[in-house]
Amino acid sequence: MRLTPQRVADEYEWVRSRADVVVPLINDVREDLGDLFDTEVDSVTEETYREEVDAVFADGDRAVNLAGLVVLLRELDVEGDYPGFVVDEMLGRELAGTIAGTQPLRLLGEATFHYADVSVHAEEDRQTAGADDLDAALAAGFQTRLPGWDWQEGESPFAIDRK
């Protein structure tokens, strides 16, 4: 694999074009987690998703890592799939965390990846081992960093004000 600025731009466009697949996954995950935690979580639109893809890929240092992980998951296939289970899970978790951002969102993105991955199955035309992990990772990472969770609204009660 060779990552160039053009390859990063191509992967950015590919991730951005997945809105029709990723946004429903995001909203399903948000609805399920909202039910589990007895809270309302705002849904995400395709436009909001695309704006957030723009934001994460605007950071060149993050963008090259995102593109590398996306390419690996898009192309990853292992004969019989099961032996590759660990590597596609590891790459998916890392992609979700990288999208989500810094702690604690990174950890939440990684954890949400495993939740999302259970219900995501690759489309018939994308039967590589990493295809479903890629979609689950995009959904988990973006759903974590996007607003809509009540606990993310306002300032943390744990912040120290040293005025």
* CA dist., res. 131 & res. 8, Å (int): 18
- pLDDT tens-place string over residues 75-134: 887 776 566 667 888 999 999 999 999 999 999 999 999 999 887 765 555 566 677 899
Q: Where are the domains of the chain?
A: 5-147
The per-residue pLDDT for 99 is 98
Ramachandran angles phi, psi of 104, nearest 5°: -85, -5
pLDDT confidence bin for 157, thresholds 50/70/90: confident
Helical ranges in 5-130 per DSSP H: 5-17, 19-36, 46-58, 60-75, 85-100, 105-119
pLDDT confidence bin for 156, thresholds 50/70/90: confident
The chain-wide mean pLDDT, for the chain, equals 89
13-27, 51-65, 86-100: which range is least confident on average? 86-100
